[in-house]
């Protein structure tokens, strides 16, 4: 009787509150299962130009083959590859902003599913043992109340049935905003900012973050993970900024 009532109530809710695209409010077609409408998904700025396979820096030429960027040639990153859902532009930027700054924590599942689909091919060759989110310092976490990267890592973990431990990698030192800093200053700003709470035993790690700009944070996290016993680190982010290189 109770389950019957519950099903009836759910049906009533769906009738009263049909699912809408969280970005534009368009009514979603039932049965399709997408969390965003087709128009918003189309405007998610996929990275379909050639790019650097290590840090996903996109190149301006629409065609051409993938090759290492200058920053990765000069300082080899401690991670094996980077993949993103798309560029930090257009609707994807809007979605990441809403997820990160405006409390839209329920974007975690749809964004993680899209990212998982994007990673499916590369995951055939690189099967991670665990997912680690780029952590926030506790002061920042207190102000922001949640770490969007951890929400994302957990959803990916649920999807792939992999652990996504929250406290293994910690940000032990608060850091200034990376915005406006040069490559060297970014590296200095992050030096010693992360630590592991326990040693790893040769696991392959997928480091998860929302946005990758210069890659300085990912580099520092990956170096910490490798020093702590990870066998390798790859990086998955929602969005890649079309930006500068490390100097």
Binding site for Zn ion (CB under 5 A): 21, 23-24, 26, 37, 40, 52, 54-55, 57, 69, 72
| Residue 217 CB, nearest approach to Zn ion (Å) | 14
* Complex with Zn ion: residue 56 or 190, whichever CB lies closer: 56
* Complex with Zn ion: residue 28 or 181, whichever CB lies closer: 28
Q: Which of 34, 45, 37, 48 is nearest to 113 (CA)?
A: 34
From the CB of residue 158, how many other CB atoms can be counted at a distance below 10 Å? Answer: 14
* Complex with Zn ion: residue 54 or 171, whichever CB lies closer: 54
Q: How far apart are CA 245 and CA 225, in angstroms?
A: 23
The residue assigned the tokens 């066998």 is 231
| Residue 8 CB, nearest approach to Zn ion (Å) | 29
| Residue 47 CB, nearest approach to Zn ion (Å) | 13
The three state secondary structure string of 122-162 is HHHHCCCCEEEECCCCHHHHHHHCCCHHHHHHHHHHHHHCC
Q: Which two tokens stand for residue 197?
A: 């709470």
Q: How far apart are CA 85 and CA 114, in angstroms?
A: 7
* Complex with Zn ion: residue 48 or 66, whichever CB lies closer: 66
| Residue 112 CB, nearest approach to Zn ion (Å) | 18
Q: Are strands 169-171 and 194-196 parallel, antiparallel or unpaired?
A: antiparallel
| Residue 78 CB, nearest approach to Zn ion (Å) | 12
* Complex with Zn ion: residue 157 or 215, whichever CB lies closer: 215
Q: Which two tokens stand for residue 58?
A: 């996109």
């Amino acid at each position: 009787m109770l389950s019957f009532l519950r099903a009836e109530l759910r049906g009533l809710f769906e009738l009263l509150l049909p699912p809408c695209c969280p970005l534009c409010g368009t009514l979603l077609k039932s049965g399709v299962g997408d969390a965003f409408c087709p128009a918003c998904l189309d405007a998610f700025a996929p990275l379909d130009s050639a790019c650097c396979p290590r840090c996903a820096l996109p190149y301006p030429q629409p065609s051409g083959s993938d090759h290492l960027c200058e920053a990765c040639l000069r300082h080899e990153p401690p991670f094996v590859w980077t993949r993103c859902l798309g560029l930090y532009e257009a609707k994807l930027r809007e979605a990441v902003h809403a997820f990160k700054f405006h409390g839209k924590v329920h974007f975690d599942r749809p964004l993680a599913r899209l990212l998982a689909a994007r990673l499916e091919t590369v995951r055939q060759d690189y099967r991670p043992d665990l997912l680690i989110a780029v952590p926030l310092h506790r002061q920042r976490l207190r102000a922001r109340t949640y770490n969007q990267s951890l929400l994302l890592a957990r959803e990916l973990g649920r999807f792939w049935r992999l652990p996504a431990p929250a406290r293994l990698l910690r940000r032990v030192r608060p850091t200034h905003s990376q915005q406006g800093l040069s490559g060297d200053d970014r590296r200095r700003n992050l030096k010693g900012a992360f630590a592991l709470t326990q040693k790893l035993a040769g696991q392959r790690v997928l480091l998860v973050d929302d946005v990758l700009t210069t890659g300085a944070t990912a580099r520092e996290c990956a170096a910490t993970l490798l020093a702590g016993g990870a066998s390798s680190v790859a990086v998955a982010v929602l969005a890649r900024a079309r930006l500068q290189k490390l100097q």
